[in-house]
Amino acid sequence: MSIMDSIIQIKNLSKTYADGFQALNSINLDINKGEIFALLGPNGAGKTTLINMICGIVNIQDGMVSVDGHDVVRDYRKTRSMIGLVPQELTSETFETVWGTVSFSRGLFGKKQDTLYVEKILKALSLWEKKDNTILTLSGGMKRRVLIAKALAHEPKIIFLDEPTAGVDVELRQDMWEVVRQLKEEGVTIILTTHYIEEAEQIADRVGVINHGELILVQEKNSLMLELGQKHLQINLVNPLKVIPASLMDFRVELSACNKILIYTYDKNDDFGVSSILELLSSLGIAYHDLDTKESSLEEIFVDLVNRKLT
Amino acid sequence: MNYPAIKAIYIFEMSRMRRTLFQSIVSPVISTTLYFVVFGAAIGSRITEIDGVSYGSFIVPGLIMLSILTESVSNASFGIYFPKFSGSIYEVLSAPISYIEITIGYVGAAASKSIIVGSIILLTANLFVPIQIAHPIWMITFLILTAISFSLLGFILGIWADNWEKLAIAPTLIITPLAFLGGSFYSITMLPPFWQKITLLNPVVYLISGFRWSFYENADVSVYVSVGMIGLFLLICLMLVWFIFKTGYRLRV
């Protein structure tokens, strides 16, 4: 199986709600089989609407979505049985037990009860000890785990995680990403939205950025960071400078407020800028005692992309 | 047909009855006992017989029907409203399940619960008054059809309601008055002619009349008219459910 095989195809998908708000505007997107795809965007960008349309919760107005070659409207039984959804809100049957609600999810998706499988999921998500507890008695983080267990209960090929780590403590978050990595190893395709962009940076294969209902960009995460990411070289000077020397003006150089740090910003694929700057500084007799480099994060790239679109 | 899904919804809904055993079963039994005390003993001592049946026995079918109507509507409306309220409806909407299967699951469970409650009331009533069932098959048919019809109505109300107040309005302001004024505790022949005609506009009259006929062979209207009216009511509810799922009304945006 090639990772480049598309499992979800979205063509010209648009959605305008009854109040006139256009949530999605002609979205075209292919999700590859077995990948982790991070969908990033500010609040109200259209991430949840997109997910809900694929899952069948929101009606499709214009365009089409197919899952593994099946249309999500016409062949909804096939497509939905392949998908598991972890919603953004902590929604579950308050008075039901953990075991009961996960078993319910499995049945709802047409699978016969399999106590061993449900046990395996609950143990993987550290919920086994709580299996007889009602949802009401669980903490927010544990409720989030229950939602993940419910989404996995029918052994889906695709899983949507809509802000899965919102309100979850660090330890729990690490556990969840471990589960996500295991799912990827098992060949499950994962589409996630998250506010913690550093998580997408760590875990995603590809990134899509959505804003105002439009897909601004879809790219391999590594190539995106290489292409749009920037590096910053911080040169700590021995003596403060009054102004930036004229010969350095051709470079993107700034002088810090204390006049003792020069900051050079350059593209990641710029091979000669750093050595040129250092040579120039030596030739100008400007001494420095320390160097420090910093790489822009996916979050910075994301903010930059969204701001660029706004301007 | 996604049978595991229907079974999952059905079992899930029935488990709520187990969790709320007191509210589900003991409450109707207590209510029935109180009705017998008030209507059977206090009023019944002044009305000895109606159409050759003792007043205590006469009101049994009406009492059962009253519970069936209110229980069906409240169970089904709560069953679908609560997931909407809590947000967990997303799971049903994203599952590989047709609207027919969703309806069978929720309505089937609500109807089952109300039939159980109706049966308990019948057994409780039997402790107070002698009961005969002249046409048991018809009795069961009326019981099941009424439970399904009003569970469908409750299901529709649960989808329509977007707050708790609306959820409570229909049973309180419509179902209970219709049941009380539909001949639960009297024969409509006891009313003045004008009010008899007005009462015939109440669909519950036909349900209670048909159900009472299956017990004592006494009916205010023809049993065939009763069956026809239940059938018509069932059809209207099914059409409304079909419309709801076709359009996504109050479920899918």
Taking the CA of residue B85 and the nearest CA in chain A, the distance in Å comes to 9
Q: What is the DSSP letter of A128?
A: G
> Does the structure show a pLDDT above 80 at A4?
no
Contacts of A19 in chain B (CB under 8 A): none
Nearest-angstrom CA–CA distance, A259 and B113 = 80
The CATH number fitting domain A230-295, selected from 3.50.70, 3.30.2000, 3.30.70, 1.10.3470: 3.30.70
- A260 or A272: whose pLDDT is higher? A260
Tell which residue, B80, B41, B228, B91, has the closest CA to residue B161. Answer: B80
Q: Is A6 exposed, middle or buried (0-12, 13-18, 19+ CB in 10 A)?
A: middle
| Domain range summary for chain B, segments of one domain joined by + | 3-247
Q: Is B154 exposed, middle or buried (0-12, 13-18, 19+ CB in 10 A)?
A: buried
Q: Mean pLDDT for chain A? A: 87
Of B8, B92, B96, the CB nearest to A76: B96
Indicate left, alpha or beta for B216 from its phi (over 0: left) and psi (-120 to 50: alpha): alpha
If you search the block for the tokens 């007799």, which residue do you land on?
A285
Q: What is the pLDDT of residues B54-77, one digit of tens each?
A: 888 888 898 899 889 988 998 999
Per-residue confidence (pLDDT) for residue B156, from 0 to 100: 93
Per-residue confidence (pLDDT) for residue A3, from 0 to 100: 45
Of B8, B15, B16, the CB nearest to A108: B8
Tell which residue, B159, B186, B2, B165, has the closest CA to residue B84. Answer: B159
| Cα angle B151, B155, B161; round to 5 | 135
> Does the structure show a pLDDT above 60 at B231?
yes
Q: A109 vs B252: CB contact, 8 Å cut-off?
A: no
If you search the block for the tokens 């004229």, which residue do you land on?
A246
| Domain range summary for chain A, segments of one domain joined by + | 6-225, 230-295
CB-based contacts of B125, cutoff 8 Å, min separation 6? B32, B36, B60, B63, B64, B131
pLDDT class of A93 with cuts at 50, 70, 90: confident
Q: B87 vs A56: CB contact, 8 Å cut-off?
A: no
| Cα angle A4, A8, A14; round to 5 | 130
- Chains A, B: CB pairs < 8 Å: 84
Q: What is the pLDDT of residues B27-39, one digit of tens each?
A: 878 887 888 778 7
Share of chain B above pLDDT 70, in %: 99
Instruction: Identify the CATH number of the domain defined by range A6-225.
Output: 3.40.50.300
